[in-house]
Structure 1
Amino acid sequence: MQREQASPEVEARIRRSFEGQGLMAHLSARITHIVPGRVHFELSGRPEVTQQHNYFHAGATSAVADSAGGYAAFTLFPENTEVLTVEYKINLLAPAVGDCIEAVGTVLKSGRTLTVCHLEVFAVHDGRRKLVANGQQTLIRVKGPEQ
């Protein structure tokens, strides 16, 4: 089933917000796909995001998963609102080894105040994806800055 595309306004709002994320810039993460209720992030492999065994570090894996879920929720929020993570849990299923990792946040339930997302992280090596982490997240919609 093909999901509708995010409107140009929603996509611009997501990208504007993402540009303000210091950690995502520091990690060199990037958004690769935006549709209503679903966002994909990619983080390329390099020594700065790995741990001592050359796997992607759990902190980097968790951070991109958290942000992917947050922006998935944000795609469904009205103008003049923002998103904050209330809690999330990540299960690390396998060492994240590959050229990059891809984090996918998918909205399970969008509410007036709280939204719940499913999080998945895949290691990508030679074009093949392997699920290396999954989790769940709760986010809160808060009032955005006054215009």
Structure 2
Amino acid sequence: MSGDLDLTVARKVLEAQPFSVLLGARLTAFDGEGATLELDIRDDLRQQHGFVHGGVLSYAADNAITFAAGAAVGAQVVTAGFTIDYLRPAQGDLLRARARIVRAGRTRVVCRCDLSTVDAEGAETPCAVAQGTVSVLEDQNSA
């Protein structure tokens, strides 16, 4: 983990994101290995067939990937790009996005994210996988 980042600080960063607050996202894990983001599946997050909307899955992957990268290199990071593959329709009570660092360089971090849904009994079902690249921002004080 880089700098003074820990789960408490990371949660404050998440709480400062209005869109994350709107979705009700929460960080349940954050360490040198990566980050886990969860959100309750609500009816207003579903598409017309009753599955969790792909945009919600993409949000969860994007944010989990960026937090995982931040755990490795610090808070000054932004997503450079990511891809997502939907494995099956997302149904359940909870969406869980677990992102892990594949490689952390000086200016870029590559992460993988496994997304799953969790039902009322606690059974986890994979629904998507994503891989992303995160850019480390230049130190604004040295520019």
Q: Under a length normalisation based on structure 2, what TM-score does the superposition of the two structures give?
A: 0.90
Gap regions ≥5 residues in structure 1: 1-5
- Aligned alpha-carbon RMSD (Å): 1.8
Gap regions ≥5 residues in structure 2: none
Distance in 2 (alpha carbons) for counterparts of 1:45 and 1:17: 22
Q: Establish whether residue 127 from structure 1 lines up as the match of residue 122 from structure 2.
A: yes
Residues 27 and 36 in structure 2, CA contact (< 8 A), matched pair in contact too = yes
| Count of residues in correspondence between the two structures | 139
Q: Establish whether residue 56 from structure 1 lines up as the match of residue 81 from structure 2.
A: no
Structure 1 stretches of 4+ with a deviation exceeding 4 A read none
Match of 1:44 in 2: 40
Distance in 1 (alpha carbons) for counterparts of 2:137 and 2:2: 21
Distance in 2 (alpha carbons) for counterparts of 1:56 and 1:41: 16
Q: Give SS of 1:62's match.
A: helix
Q: 1:114 aligns with which of 102, 108, 124?
A: 108
Match of 1:3 in 2: none
Distance in 2 (alpha carbons) for counterparts of 1:98 and 1:30: 17
Distance in 2 (alpha carbons) for counterparts of 1:83 and 1:8: 13
- Which has the larger displacement, 11-20 or 53-62? 11-20
Residues 2 and 72 in structure 2, CA contact (< 8 A), matched pair in contact too = no
Identical aligned pairs, as a percentage?
29
Distance in 1 (alpha carbons) for counterparts of 2:92 and 2:12: 29
The one-letter code sitting in structure 2 at the alignment partner of 1:66 is D
Q: Establish whether residue 94 from structure 1 lines up as the match of residue 88 from structure 2.
A: yes
Residues 24 and 64 in structure 1, CA contact (< 8 A), matched pair in contact too = no
Shift of 1:18: 1.3
Distance in 2 (alpha carbons) for counterparts of 1:82 and 1:54: 37
Q: 2:5 aligns with which of 5, 10, 31?
A: 10
Shift in alpha-carbon separation, 1:145–1:18, aligned structure 2, 3 A:
farther
Shift of 1:133: 0.1
Distance in 2 (alpha carbons) for counterparts of 1:20 and 1:144: 21
The one-letter code sitting in structure 2 at the alignment partner of 1:135 is A
